[in-house]
Amino acid sequence: MNNVYFSLSQLEIRKKNKNLYLILCLVFCSLFGNTPKVSAQSTQIQIIPDTTLPINSVVSPDTSGNLIEITGGTAAGNNLFHSFQQFSVLDGQTAFFNNGSSIGSIFSRVTGSSVSNIEGIIRANGTANLFFINPKGIIFGPNATLEIGGSFLGSTAESIKFSDGNFYSAVDPQAPPLLNINIPVGLQYGTEPGNIIVEGTGNSTGFADPSNNDYSLVKNFRPSGLQVDQGKNLALIGGNIALDGGNLTAAEGHIELGSVKQGLVGLNTSSEIWTFDYQGVAGFTDIALANAASVEVSGNSSGTVNVRGQNISLTDASAILSNTSGNGTGGSITLNGADSVRITGVSQNQIPFVSYVSTDTTAGSTGAGADLNIDTNYLLVAGGAQVASAIFGSGKGGNLSVNAERVELIAGSRVAGSSGLFAPIVPGATGDGGNINVDTDSLLIAGGAQAFTLSFSNGKAGDFNIKAQDIELNGTSPNGTPSGLFNNTFAGGDGGNLSINTDTLKVIDGADIGSTVGGLGNAGNIDIKANNIELSSVDSLTDPSQISASVQSSATGTAGDINIETNSLKLSGGTQINSSVLGTGQGGNLAIKASEINLTGYSAVANRSTGLFATVIPGATGNSGNLAITTDNLQVSDGAQIAVSTGGSGSAGNLTVTASNSVELSGNAIQAGGGSSGLFSSAVLGNGNGGNINLTTDRLTVKDGATISASNFLSGSNADILAGTGTGKAGNININAPTIELDGVDTDTPASITASTFAGGGGNIFLNSNTITAQNGAQVTAETLGEGAGGAIEVFTNNLNLTSGATFSSSTVAAGDAGIISVNSNLLDISAQGKITTSSTGTGQAGNINLNSDRIQTDGGFITATSEQTGGGDINIFSNEILLRNNSLISTSVLDSNGGGGNIFIDNSNFILALNNSDIRANAVFGPGGNIDITTELIFTDLTSDIDASSQFGLDGVVEIKSPESEKDLGTGILPEDITDPSGLITAACPSSGENIFAVTGNGGIPNSPYQSHSLSSNWHDLRPATQQTTKVNTAKVAPSRKPIKEATATIINSDGELELVALSPLSTHNWIKSSCRG
């Protein structure tokens, strides 16, 4: 833009030497004997006609020289043509075109070599339009004024083209005369068209206090400058165009500013509003509005402004306005800069007025606002400058549209607030706001600049639509105002929707995207589609970047939803995407679809975790929205979190994660003052219920202190817990994953899945998986710390492996009962201090443990149910095979109360092995011991292993061990009538040598036939008094007679050539081979 002002200094020299130009011109004309007629005051008159017309112009100054009457000229129909060798109007002078009433248009050209300096008044009769062309240039001074009833066109074109193809030329004035009645259709420019300058004292107008969202327009001082009548056209088309403090006014009309290099500018004057066509232009030059210059077409109906150039700039509180103050229709403002449009800066005296472009509707108006269009390669709005379409009346606001290769909204002003694009509805207005549409390759908003739609009244804010290749929102202003994009409502009106469609979106270092409800209205949604989204902030920020939808503390409206679709989503440094309720409204939903999601970190300065959140803060009464994530891979690490929560009377939404490949939760930020990474649902302080956590993935990994938690109290010290408890029910945790891996650092830093409660009911944990592995202190826990009942843990898996201190537990420390633990698996493997346990250290009952597994094997593992003050929980095991090794333990115990020990029930169809000090116990201290009921085909223990149901000071429990058939088929034995022949029990195929003995011993005997179950001998003896143990007596059932089995004594080869085992038969005709015991 440095070249925009190149002509100003040259024209200033010419203005200061106007008398010299006049003298030289008169000398030149006298030498060539072609001197026009002028009055005696010719030395003070700078309007000199030439002699190129059939009827030449006549210039007649009055005696004072201040009124210069222009008559004569050549008429053609309602067109009147004037031609001048020089045309300038001094300050205090009036150039009066004294045309007849029938004249519709006056065409005036300057054929000489001097610039026209207009510092006085140009006047014409009636409603005639005035076309004024001077190829060398035109300067309008600070006091220049138009007093014409029609439209005005000032141009540095070489000629005016008419509809019949003829030209009225200023560079070839000897062309054939115009005798036909025609209309102008174009302006023909040469290779170096002159410049047009409009000077003035500037204006003192602007928004009252935009830094506090007050966009009411204040006009302390604005001279009309060059002005045409209401509804008329004011056009300045030349080379470079500069408004140096100048003001242009066409109320309800049209103002055209065009700067061209060469070519033909099309012109259509057939309608009230003239239009210009630049398709025939070879290129453009620059247009600059500086030093509080202004262009205004406001009125009952707002007019139109069209600015067309190479580089367009508004600086130093310059302004373009098209405001609607009545019931008329809205017009438009169009800025079309081939290279750039730059709107920057505050006024030079630093009063709170900035450069701006405005299409407002004023207070009391009912008409629609004007549209505002910017089309350029590069748009810059900086230094507090603003592009705004504000609503003060009841009419609908105009739309604000930007089409640019690159858009930059930079910084703000200490006195005027943020730079940016705005479409607000101010307090008291009832009209709906206009939309903001931005279409660009690159959008940068930085240093506290903003773009937003906003409602402070009952009107609905407009929508905000952005389409870009790259979007970067960066940083804050020095006073902490975030850069960003917003669609807010603070009264009864609804907010508009914010839609972003981009390849890359970066929101960094305190910048925000937000949708806020501050009143009764409903906020709009935020919809983002991007290939890559990144939110990040430096560690020193107290307010890291975020994308948020919120209901403020004084509001009762509904928050908008946040919907994000992306290939990659990355958040770090305490940045968040959140939906929150601080008042009584309904929270918005948060839905994210992404191929890859990576959330990492915690901000110690901001005391804020990176993550995704849907929350109702303490004291609020609204429900939070749901949080839904659909992705291929989800990573949450180093203190980052995904959470739904409620701290008020409203309920938290559900948290749903669907990841086709994997979910990995890892690490924590506890040392930095944060918490664990993970997924959370909480209901604290109020009576709202917690939301459910629903997780579906192919592989779930929770490691290094990360957690999945559903609770209704705040974590922390006991004091924190008591101060942060809710009466609502905690949510459930539902996990479906073929592979689940829980891997802690140690027992102090476990990886965990936890459902906790205080006063309300605890949530349940459901795990459905093919393989679950928990190690290194990992935990799956359902606990109650108050009067609320704890939730249950239910597991469905093929393989459950607990090792290295991993724990599945259910506990109570107060009055609430602990929940049940149920495991359904093919293989349950517990080793190296791994455990499944329920416990009670309060008055609540310990939960039961139900295990249903084909095989249970423990190696230094524990299955326990303990209680300190009440009865112990039961342990129920259904398994085909149980192997206990190396100090393994199955135990129910009661320590310090009169409560009885829990019972242990084991239903096993194959075997139980207990080796190396592995015990099965149901013990008590003061109360009775629990009962142990074992049903199995075989039980084997070594001398170091025990099965015990004793009580230290109370009655011992009962230990009963039996085989499965003893309950079903066997009772008191009924002896057979025929004693079994022992010879039938010895194979006939083996000859007797008298050297071997076959003996049947023990009171169990052998069954009558192979079809009957083996009746075990009593391998267990209870030496305690009979009064302390009850033994059931069963009556055996005799098995039905079956055809006896014959011993195979030979082999034969059948007709198919196959070898068969057969009993010897005298009728057999097959070839047979006799077997031999001796080989």
Q: Which of 529, 313, 344, 359 is nearest to 449 (CA)?
A: 344
Give the pLDDT of residue 713.
Answer: 60
Give the pLDDT of residue 581.
Answer: 86
Q: Which of 322, 351, 387 is nearest to 208 (CA)?
A: 351
Angle at 107 between CA 105 and CA 113, to 5 degrees: 160
pLDDT beneath 50, residues of the chain: 1-43, 350, 715-725, 967-975, 989, 1001-1004, 1009-1042, 1065-1079
Q: What is the CB neighbour count within 10 angstroms for residue 277?
A: 13
Sheet strand arrangement including 1059-1062: 1059-1062, 1050-1053, 1072-1074
| DSSP result, 579-617 | EEESSSSPPPPEEEEEEEEEEE-EETTTTEE-EEEEEE-
3-state class (DSSP) for residue 12: helix
Angle at 66 between CA 65 and CA 69, to 5 degrees: 85
How many residues does the structure list for the chain? 1079
The Cα–Cα gap between 263 and 256 comes to 17
Q: Count Cβ atoms within 10 A of the Cβ of residue 858 and give its class: 0-12 exposed, 13-18 middle, 19 or more buried.
A: buried
Q: Is the Cβ–Cβ distance between 833 and 804 less than 8 Å?
A: yes
Give the pLDDT of residue 1052.
Answer: 65
3-state class (DSSP) for residue 718: helix
Q: What are phi and psi of 965, to 5 degrees?
A: -75, -25
Q: 906 has which bridge partners? A: 877, 934
Listed by start position, the domains of the chain span 1048-1079
Read off the tokens for 616. Answer: 């109702």
Q: Is the Cβ–Cβ distance between 483 and 508 less than 8 Å?
A: no
**671-715, pLDDT tens digit by residue?**
888 889 999 988 776 577 888 999 999 999 999 999 999 887 654
Give the pLDDT of residue 9.
Answer: 39
Give the pLDDT of residue 621.
Answer: 82
User: Which residue do the tokens 């008291």 mark?
Assistant: 428
Read off the tokens for 500. Answer: 């972003």
Give the pLDDT of residue 788.
Answer: 72
Q: Which of 373, 354, 393 is nearest to 305 (CA)?
A: 373
> Whole-model pTM above 0.85?
no
Read off the tokens for 977. Answer: 């009538």
For residue 118, the one-letter residue type is I
Q: Is the Cβ–Cβ distance between 348 and 291 less than 8 Å?
A: yes
What b/e readout covers 482-502, taking b as 16+ CB neighbours within 10 angstroms?
Answer: bbbbbbbbbbbbbbbbbbbbb
3-state class (DSSP) for residue 44: helix
Give the pLDDT of residue 646.
Answer: 81
For residue 477, the one-letter residue type is S
Give the pLDDT of residue 926.
Answer: 81
Give the pLDDT of residue 1057.
Answer: 62
The Cα–Cα gap between 185 and 570 comes to 58
Q: Which of 672, 553, 550, 653 is nearest to 608 (CA)?
A: 672
Q: Is the Cβ–Cβ distance between 328 and 300 less than 8 Å?
A: yes
Alpha carbon of 481 to those of 413, 452, 455, 484: distances in Å?
A: 11, 14, 19, 9
Q: Which of 257, 251, 254 is nearest to 293 (CA)?
A: 257
Q: What is the CB neighbour count within 10 angstroms for residue 781?
A: 23
End-to-end CA distance of the chain, in Å? 112
The Cα–Cα gap between 892 and 875 comes to 7
**901-922, pLDDT tens digit by residue?**
689 999 987 899 999 999 999 9
Helix, strand, coil percentages (3-state) for the chain, rounded to 5, are: 5, 50, 45
**235-277, pLDDT tens digit by residue?**
999 999 999 999 999 999 999 999 999 999 999 999 999 999 9
| DSSP result, 777-788 | T-EEEEEESSSS
Read off the tokens for 403. Answer: 């089409």
User: Which residue do the tokens 């929205």 mark?
Assistant: 625
